[in-house]
Structures are given as structure tokens and as C-alpha cells.
Amino acid sequence: MMFDRIFEKDVAITGVGQSEVGRPVARSGMRLTLDACLDAIADAGLTRADIDGVACWPGDNNNGDAFSPVGPNALIGTLGLKVNWYGGGYEGPGPLAGIINGAMAIASGLCRHVLVFRTITEASRRKVDKNASALTNKTIGRDSSFFWQWYTPFNVLSAINLMALYTQRHFHEYGTTPEQLAQIALTCRANAALNPKAIYRTPLSLDDYFASRMISTPLRVLDCDVHCDASTAIILSRADAANDGPNPPIRLEAIGAALHQPWSWDQIDLTATAARDVGEMMWARTDLKPKDVGSAQLYDGFSILTMIWLEALGLCPRGESGRFVEGGRRIARDGELPINTNGGQLSGGRTHGLGYVHEACTQLWGRAGERQIAPHHVSVVAAGGGPLGGSVLLVRD
Amino acid sequence: MTRKLPLLTEDNSPFWQGGAQGRLLIHHCADCTRFFHPPAPICPHCGSFEVTPRAVSGKGKVLSYTINHQAWRPDLTEPYVVAIVELAEQAGLRFVTNIVGLPAEAVHIDMPVRVRFEQHEDVWLPLFEKDA
């Protein structure tokens, strides 16, 4: 991949915000959204009148479903925004699509300050329906989805079955072990202990991991992220408008959004997935190298996906993620590559994408309190699984 | 075991109904002579519209598998095997299915398998069993 114009260099993050994170939180999806967005706008030193764009993934295409109860359409009027551009929708490069789309809107001259947000109320919903958001296709009658029709007839009813197929293949091809995989869950839990907003904070041992319930071999319940109610918001600003606020701007050094394979969960490379294309694209857009990365916030909707991202982003060689995370020392908060420093989604809560961006910025700004890791200037965030994938390389100069 | 069935279309019905004649029908391109899946009106390899469903041997091997333990519906009380089977005709030609007819613990990657159809209404699901 060759690129002669790197649009994201014209864009920086100037503020972040997040609502209460809980399981559940007694607030509506809209109230959580407002909490996060107003927090982020204030953090950037802006007012509502400064926001001229709104981006979200996946938006309210799920019609108010707990997976995404609030989209840009509902937020704009509620918050009294006057925008030049807004966008949502599921069909994009995964949970970071809002960041990528918002950055494109700024770089193309449509906006100066874009509000990117992501709200999720799956914890509240699961009080009513315990399978809410675990089941992937709730259509009534026959399955007409262009992709789920290939899975639901075989009672592949949750994404975990597909993730388990990736995991088993990774074990087979590279000799990765369950003990190695467990280090993702254990590392996240250790980090969550220092995050007052995390859902699960009690210590977790390898024995606890192996005692946890098997869902779809070899994946256990502790390999799955934990549903929560939360909203997260990020302010993107044009580079020439990013120096006026209280925070040092965090530049978007490079983004990855490529998909050079079918949008399919089983027709792609099972152990590299779309993440491979995303990683290749991101590094083709910067002179920085994987060795420059000081912290990594890597999607852990399922633990295997963090392993896949480690390899896809070149943070370890392909097939080596098991040996890289073995024992947990390298990926610990005082290790050579701290990951998921707020507990990830496995223990921190399934904020679904933007939570990683929020944490990366919090660490780069040195505002992480008790869980603050060593000072660093470069952080990588990647989110998604299977055909969904996006990444962003963040730099605080 | 109940199944959530696919909505049949002109493109997908050969795959889901070929089992009525005991045939596993996979789309094939006359121009580049390659199979592809899922079925579509155009060959994703070469862009040709000269595509037709063609019967394959129904033999293949397990590329990956998982034993599902979670009862996503009240009737799914027994563990079942979800797998990706790669067909013998072409490297990379594969789809998600179930492995049936042997204990779940006996399934392994690279195990040879052959198709066994299971009818539900007007759909013949291509499941796979161990090929001796």
C-alpha cells in the first residue's frame, strides 16, 4: 500500500469524556451520551457552539437497540448542535469508524471540531433479556442477512463461535496454548484493579481462569468482554484549531481502515483477519515503527482478538503472540508494551471501541492517576474483530 | 435440533436445496475455472458472469472447529460442533457447518469429512460426518 496524502495529520484529539460506567447505570442512553459529550466538550475547552460535526459508529441503525441506543440524529437536536456534517452507520471499519470518518470530515474542510461518541446500554438490557446482545441476529422468521444466513442455520448464534474457530486455528498453526491466551484476561484484570470505573476489579488467578465456564471451546466466559452501560466521547479538532484548548493536542499520526479480503467471518484469513490489512495500511502512512509504540489499547471483545491485533500491528511477529504474552510480563503496566491499561473491555467494561481511545489519551496526558504508566509519546489503538477493523496511531509531541 | 433457516434467493437456493438430489452445489466460474463461495451472480476472482452451481464431491477436511456449550436457546442443551470445512476441490473453498455423527471430543483439525444432508422444510443443510 502506497499513499501520497496523509489526511489525518491535519487532525488532533483535544478532549475526551466519559459517563459513569456501570452494570447497570440507572440513566437513559441519552443521558449517558450527554454526560460523555458535555464532559468531552468541556475538556477540550470548547462550548456546544464550537461543535460543527458529529460522528458515531454504529449509530442508531439498530433502532434503539442496547448495542447502540443513541445515534447522531437523536443527539444533534437534543444537544442543540448546529453541524455542517454528521454521520453514523454500521458499514465501516469497525468501532473506530467514527474517529476515522470524523477525521475525514475535518481534513476535507467540512468541520473544525467534530464530536465523536459511542453509547451502549447492554447491561440494562440484559436485566430484561439475558441473551440481549449475545445473540447476533434477532430477525424474526428466515434469515436474509447477506452474512448471518451462512451461520445461523448451523446454530452459530453468537460471535463467540466464530472467535473460537479463529482461536482453535491459531492454537493449531502456531502452538498457542490456553495458558498463554489466559494472560489477556489476567492482565486486563490486574489493570482494572487500579481503575475505579472498571466493572470487575477483584484479583484473578490462572486457576480462576481455568475454573471459569466454557462457552465455546477453547473460549471461556472470562475470554468474553463484560457488558456495561456507558458512553464515551472524543473531540477531534483541525490541527490549526487544536492549540487553543487546555490539553496538548494528541495528533492522529496514522490510521488504518483497509479491507483487502471479503467482508466475511469465515472467508478471511482466520488467524490474521482484517486486522492484517489495517496494520499494513497504518504503518504505510507513517515513518514511525512498531518499536516506537509506548502503550497499546487493543480490542478485547474476545481475548483472541487482542492476540491477533498484537501480530497484525507488528507489535510481535505473526504467530508469536502466545509466546509474547506468556507469563504476562511484557504486556503488564510496567512491561515493555503495556496493553489495555484501564482493564480493557474484559474487566473494564464493553464501552466498545472509544473506551480505548479515551484511555490512550488519558495515559498520554498523564491523567491516569493510580494506573498511570511510564511517560510515553506514542500509543496505538485498534478495534474490531473478523472483517471489522480499524486502528489509529496517536502521538503527543 | 431446531434451526433458523435462510431466506432462499435465486443466488443461494442451489447451495441450500442441492441436497434434495443428494448434491452439494457450489458456484463455479466457467472463465477462470475456479469455485467460489458464498454464491453470487459474479465470480469474485475474475469478474465473469459465466457462473453456475456445480456438484462437488462433498468430501473435505476440518479447517477449524469449536464445541459450543452455551444454550443460546432452551432446546440447545447438548454440546454441538461448529466447524469450518475446506472442500477437497480447491484450497480455500470452505464454509461454516456442523460436524455430526461422532462424539464432539473426537473431532480434530484436518479430520477427513464427507457431507450428510439434513432436511428442514425446503432447505437441505450440508452437515459433515467423519469420512472413513
Distance CA A264, CA A80 (A): 39
Pairwise CB contact (< 8 Å): A219 & B66: yes
pLDDT tens, residue by residue, A13-50? 999 999 999 999 999 999 999 999 999 999 999 999 99
pLDDT mean over A297-311: 98
Distance CA A41, CA A114 (A): 10
* Cβ contacts of B7 on chain A, cutoff 8 Å: 141-144, 149
ipTM of the shown complex: 0.98
Distance CA A371, CA A362 (A): 10
Number of structural domains, chain B? 1
The pLDDT assigned to A136 comes to: 62
Share of chain A above pLDDT 90, in %: 92
pLDDT score of A326 more than 70: yes
Q: Is residue B94 assigned to a domain? A: yes
pLDDT score of A277 more than 90: yes
* Cβ contacts of B97 on chain A, cutoff 8 Å: 154
Q: Which is more confidently placed, A336 or A140? A: A336
Q: What is the residue-averaged pLDDT of chain A?
A: 96
Q: Is residue B39 assigned to a domain? A: yes
Pairwise CB contact (< 8 Å): A144 & B6: yes
pLDDT grade, residue A127 (50/70/90)? Answer: confident
Which range of residues forms the domain containing residue B125? 13-130
User: What are the structural domains, with CATH classification, of chain A?
Assistant: 7-127+226-395 (3.40.47.10)
Distances A6 to A10, A145, A240 between C-alpha atoms, Å: 8, 35, 16
Pairwise CB contact (< 8 Å): B5 & A143: yes
pLDDT mean over B30-56: 98
Q: Is residue B113 assigned to a domain? A: yes
For A314, counting Cβ atoms within 10 Å of its Cβ (0-12 exposed, 13-18 middle, 19+ buried), the class is middle
Q: Is residue B5 assigned to a domain? A: no
Q: Is residue B96 assigned to a domain? A: yes
Chain A: give the shortest CA distance to residue B102, in Å: 17
Share of chain B above pLDDT 90, in %: 95
- Give the Cα-Cα-Cα angle A50, A55, A59 (nearest 5 degrees): 135
Identify the contact set of chain B against chain A, taking CB-CB distances under 8 A. Answer: 1, 3-8, 12, 37-38, 44, 63-70, 72-73, 76, 80, 82-84, 94-98, 109, 120, 123, 125, 127
Pairwise CB contact (< 8 Å): A154 & B63: no
Pairwise CB contact (< 8 Å): A158 & B97: no
A170, closest residue in chain B (CA to CA): B64
Q: Is residue B63 assigned to a domain? A: yes
Pairwise CB contact (< 8 Å): B66 & A137: no
Q: Which is more confidently placed, A140 or B83? A: B83
pLDDT tens, residue by residue, A217-240? 999 999 999 999 999 999 999 999
3-state secondary structure labels for all residues of B6-43: ECCCCCCHHHHHHHHHCCEEEEEECCCCCEECCCCCCC
pLDDT tens, residue by residue, A262-271? 999 999 999 9
Q: Is residue B79 assigned to a domain? A: yes
pLDDT mean over B71-99: 96
Cell of B1: 435440533
Q: Is residue B83 assigned to a domain? A: yes
Nearest alpha carbon to residue B109 among B60, B45, B39: B60
Pairwise CB contact (< 8 Å): A164 & B66: yes
